[in-house]
Structure 1
Amino acid sequence: MKTVKVRKIGNSYGITLPKEVVERYHLLEGETVQIIEGQDGFTVTPYDPEFLAWARAYERTNTKYRDTLKALAE
């Protein structure tokens, strides 16, 4: 568990992520992270539920039409 301070940034507030966290999750400046609220607080994560839905749809399509896509790629 890492401890960070909430800081005032203009009219908003923000937190600074430790370097080891940024490196572990391969985050880059300007990337978007999600804040998921729960009963015990919140989680900051690079996980994007919309991207996951897209990736699953792609996987289904890729599996179903594998031979067709392979032939088109040639």
Structure 2
Amino acid sequence: MNAPLKITKVGNSAGLILPKEVLAHLNAAVGENLTVVFTTRGIELSAADPDFDQQMAAARDVMARRKRALRELAK
């Protein structure tokens, strides 16, 4: 699919209207969150991983408990 998307004003921000084909490809629906990653070619949109926040909380916990070991490994 190669269709132009129009940027519209939403309050003080800007927004894009995604066609239903794009939402279906992302396996996303209205009201859900998307993840944006900046790449060398532009941006990449993907459906937000529901486990991401839980995984990040676990990683932060390990980093806090093993701060000294991680500092040594970074040398």
Q: TM-score over 0.5 for the alignment?
A: yes
User: 5+ unaligned residues in a row in structure 1: which ranges?
Assistant: 55-74
Find the aligned partners of 1:6 and 1:16 in 2 and give their Cα distance: 8
User: 5+ unaligned residues in a row in structure 2: which ranges?
Assistant: 56-75
**Structure 1 residues 32 and 47, CA gap change in structure 2 (3 angstroms):** closer
Scaled by the length of structure 1, the TM-score of the pair is: 0.55
- 1:14 and 2:31 correspond: no
For 1:22-64, what per-residue CA distance to the aligned partner results, in whole angstroms no more than 9, with x for missing partners?
Answer: 123331221000110012211111153953x85xxxxxxxxxx
Scaled by the length of structure 2, the TM-score of the pair is: 0.55
Aligned residue pairs total: 53
- Give the % identical residues: 32
